């Protein structure tokens, strides 16, 4: 347990920092890609290592809504590909769990607690991703309204007010 946790921390800490580094430099696409791939890889690794009793595999079901919130509208095809991949990985894990050898590590008495903690984590993750997406949408809408105001003021500076209003009400 401790060995795997240490290994995970050694692997995923730099990955998380690299995603933050990309975002801090305005390379949001790279930051999102690193985050999505590392989350899916981490979920799969832990699900395989801890087995079906852990419930970690259910985090793969969180990937589709989170990806749709994280990626901009023009990246919907990529979001669909990532979502389908996560769902296929979930199905593969569930199918593989039925064929685990008897010597596979089991969680024992802590399995039920771990399962409910992970299921709770899934719901917390969905809530956080929903909030993150909503904040992003509100920010984009605010920026759009600001640009609309600037455009209206520019139009009023160029044309007389009656003509600007007529153009705005019927652009054709």
pLDDT in tens, 118-127: 666 666 666 6
Instruction: Give residue 171's pLDDT.
Output: 61
Report in angstroms the alpha-carbon separations of 68 from 72, 80, 102. Answer: 8, 8, 39
Q: Is the pLDDT of residue 73 over 60?
A: yes
Q: Is the pLDDT of residue 1 over 60?
A: no
Number of other residues whose CB lies within 10 A of the CB of residue 60: 24
Task: Say which residue, 155 or 129, is predicted with more confidence.
Answer: 155
**What is the pLDDT of the chain when averaged over all its residues?**
77
Report in angstroms the alpha-carbon separations of 118 from 54, 55, 164. Answer: 7, 6, 57
Q: How confident is the model at residue 76 (pLDDT cuts 50, 70, 90)?
A: confident
Mean pLDDT of the region 134-139: 71
Report d(CA 161, CA 138) in Å as an integer: 30
Pick from 97, 107, 5, 86: which is nearest to 52 by CA? 97
Question: Per-residue pLDDT tens for 24-72?
Answer: 787 878 888 887 887 788 788 778 777 777 777 888 887 887 777 777 7
Instruction: Retrieve residue 53's tokens.
Output: 């009793």
Instruction: Give residue 147's pLDDT.
Output: 92
Greatest C-alpha distance within the chain:
82
Among the ranges given (19-23, 101-105, 158-162), the one the predictor scored with the smallest mean pLDDT: 101-105
Report d(CA 46, CA 52) in Å as an integer: 10
Report d(CA 53, CA 47) in Å as an integer: 9
Task: Say which residue, 95 or 132, is predicted with more confidence.
Answer: 95
Q: Is the pLDDT of residue 104 over 60?
A: yes
């Amino acid at each position: 347990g401790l060995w795997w946790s240490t290994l995970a921390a050694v692997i995923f800490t730099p990955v998380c920092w690299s995603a933050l580094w990309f975002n801090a430099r305005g390379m949001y696409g790279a930051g999102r890609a690193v985050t999505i791939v590392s989350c899916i890889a981490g979920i799969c690794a832990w699900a395989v290592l801890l087995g079906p009793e852990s419930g970690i595999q259910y985090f793969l079901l969180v990937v589709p809504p989170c990806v749709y919130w994280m990626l901009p509208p023009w990246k919907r095809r990529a979001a669909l590909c990532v979502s389908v991949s996560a769902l296929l990985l979930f199905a593969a894990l569930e199918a593989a769990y039925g064929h685990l050898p008897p010597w596979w590590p089991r969680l024992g008495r802590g399995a039920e607690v771990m399962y409910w903690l992970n299921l709770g984590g899934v719901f917390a993750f969905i809530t956080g991703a929903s909030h993150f997406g909503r904040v992003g949408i509100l920010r984009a809408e605010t920026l759009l309204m600001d640009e609309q105001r600037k455009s209206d003021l520019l139009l009023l500076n160029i044309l007389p007010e009656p003509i600007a209003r007529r153009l705005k009400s019927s652009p054709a």
